[in-house]
A and B are shown apart, each in its own frame.
Chain A
């Protein structure tokens, strides 16, 4: 049973426009959420995170929004650039379970973002 789902396998956006990647989760114990970016033949790279005590976190062109009641988060990239083309993974963890559970991330299956020049 997948507890983190990214229902859009792919997204295509024009350079300069906004990219919105979505993620849904089912486990109400999740209290920390992350987005990772992955290029082919490389490992995932951390992009941005958000704690459940917040509903928004911004870092440059990247903003993550969290809607706890809907168990939904989204990543906004503005403006999108061709170099943003990659696979984006949403991940979640339950930090309240204690330090030994830290790093036990539950990942979605990823969304392939293509930004066209």
Chain B
């Protein structure tokens, strides 16, 4: 009965490769997010989708492309991976417009680029 699930949990790959991280939520929320936790442990928002529409796009390289096939899924595709992309990526979801619905996070995907 996992609320927000993301796969894979660990991802080790070489520079220049293309990889994807998948995220699914079964909470019925209308908004999904990708956050990145860098080496200094700060969590920073990357993207937000509301009902499959991109609404937040922070300063993220074009190599990162989110895709939302439906409001329960938000996948993250990364092209031409670089060493600096190594981080933990968290997917999250919330319901916007129902008061202050807090974000529910997945357990993260630790990406290591060698």
> A interface vs B, CB < 8 Å?
2, 32, 34, 36, 41-46, 49, 51, 89, 91, 95, 99-105, 107-110
- Measured CA separation A103–B34 after assembly (Å): 10
Of B33, B43, B44, B92, the residue contacting A89 (CB under 8 A) is B43
Looking across the interface, which residue of chain A has its beta carbon closest to that of B33? Answer: A103
By beta carbon, the residue of chain A nearest B56 is A104
Q: Which of B62-70, B79-87, B102-110 lies at the interface with chain A?
A: B102-110
Q: Which residues of B contact A110 (CB under 8 A)?
A: 41
When distances are taken between beta carbons in the complex, the residues of chain B under 8 Å from A103 are 31, 33, 45, 48, 56, 92, 94, 96, 103
Chain A min CB distance to B37 (Å): 9
Contact A107 B42 (CB under 8 A): yes
Q: Cβ of B4 < 8 Å from any Cβ of A?
A: yes
Chain B nearest CB, measured from A71 CB (Å) = 18
Query: Which residue, B4, B33, B94, B100, has most C-beta atoms of chain A within 10 A?
Result: B100
Contact of A109 with B90 at beta-carbon distance under 8 Å, contacts A46-B102, A103-B103 already known: no
Which residues of A are found within 8 Å of B61, using beta-carbon distances? none
Kindly list the 9 A-B residue pairs having the minimum CB-CB distance in the complex, ordered from nearest: A43-B105, A46-B102, A107-B43, A100-B55, A43-B107, A44-B105, A109-B41, A102-B96, A42-B107
Complex CA–CA separation, A31 to B45 (angstroms): 18
With A44-B43, A99-B97, A102-B96 given, can you name 5 additional A-B contacts, CB distance below 8 Å? Answer: A42-B108, A43-B4, A43-B105, A43-B106, A51-B100
Provide a sorted-by-A list of 6 A–B residue pairs whose CB atoms are within 8 angstroms.
A34-B102, A42-B108, A43-B4, A45-B105, A46-B102, A100-B48
